[in-house]
Amino acid sequence: MFGDKTYDKLDEISQLVEPMTWSCNDALIKAPDIVEIDFDFISNLMRINGVGTSIDRRQVFKHMINTHPERKFLEANNFLNIVNDSTYRLEFENESNTSTIDLAKKTLDGRIYFKKIKQSYTDSEMEKLMIEEIKSKISGYWRSKASSVSSKINELGETFDMVDIRKYRKAREKTEYFRHELEKQFKEYKLNIRSVDLGFRFANWLNKYICYDNNQAMKNMCLLKVMSHSGKAIYSMESEEEL
């Protein structure tokens, strides 16, 4: 129950280096460097949305995934979640950055394509992205004046060794203290989650416990805390998913 099967499968060097992992990053590495936008795709967009339609990046990449030999891998690893301006850039073959579509000849005057401008995320980028996602969940209802919210924040704070959590009376103050201390634990590797996917699950557990009183989420976080006592990086954990 307390094992980390992913960590156990790492070679000795990886266990020493403790690299960040993320399924979306794995998908980005396998994704094509060039995603062409052909006549058939644009004409189909025009048929559905009208002549003045713009190129929708998400539609282009959905089409690419559907025809890609690694379709199942890209879908399973949520590739669409990282298709944005920092990973792919729209480019034209000619200097005018335009392309003319000839409906009669069924041709495009010049290539249009998305070019991959980021081959992969660095460890520091993945770590920052994970921490920001976790911090984003610690907001909103966390600041509620309801006494039950303050009580649950106290429980979480004590679970993660935040000794001063009860010194703050208002939920808003507790929330800011909890967010600050949790970020500190990540940066000091006291809570050494090295999987972005697991970090995102942790973010959801935080939110579900505070906002929806989900006890299974709390159990999962307690298990994660117990695993952190080993001092090893945490990549995966067996848990009963919360409803």
Give 16-71 pLDDT, tens digit per residue: 999 999 999 999 999 999 998 887 887 777 776 665 566 778 888 998 898 889 99
pLDDT at 146: 78
Give the whole-angstrom CA distance, residue 209 versus residue 232: 26
Q: Is residue 32 included in any domain, yes or no?
A: yes
In degrees, rounded to 5, the angle at the alpha carbon of residue 28 between the alpha carbons of residues 5 and 234 is 25
- Are both 39 and 80 inside the same structural domain? yes
Domain region containing 184 = 5-21+122-228
Residues 80 and 11 both lie in one domain? no
The last residue of one of the domains, among 116, 147, 178, is 116
Last residue of a domain, one of 91, 116, 141: 116
* Of the candidates 34, 35, 57, 40, the residue with the CA atom closest to the CA atom of residue 107: 40
- Is the residue at 180 inside a domain? yes
Query: Cβ of 14: how many Cβ atoms within 10 Å?
Result: 15
Using N-to-C axis directions, what is the helix angle for 196-212 and 123-137, rounded to 10°?
10
Residues 6+ positions from 113 with CB-CB distance below 8 Å: 34, 35, 36, 37, 90, 91
pLDDT tens by residue, 214-233: 999 999 999 999 999 998 99
| Of 77, 102, 81, 62, nearest in space to 21 by CA | 77
Counting the structural domains of the chain, the total is 2
**Rounded to an integer, what distance in angstroms lies between the CA atom of residue 75 and that of residue 27?**
9
pLDDT digits (tens, 9 = 90+) for 64-122: 898 889 999 999 899 999 999 999 999 988 766 666 676 677 767 778 899 999 999 99
Residue 240: the pLDDT is: 61
Percentages helix, strand, coil for the chain, rounded to the nearest 5? 55, 10, 35
Same domain, 87 and 162: no
Residue 239 lies in a domain: no
Q: Of 116, 151, 184, which residue constitutes the final position of a domain?
A: 116
Q: Is residue 242 part of a domain?
A: no
Specify whether 215 is located in the same domain as 97: no
Asked if the structure places residue 241 within a domain, the reply is no
Residue 183 DSSP class: H
Q: Are residues 66 and 148 in the same domain?
A: no
Same domain, 139 and 188: yes
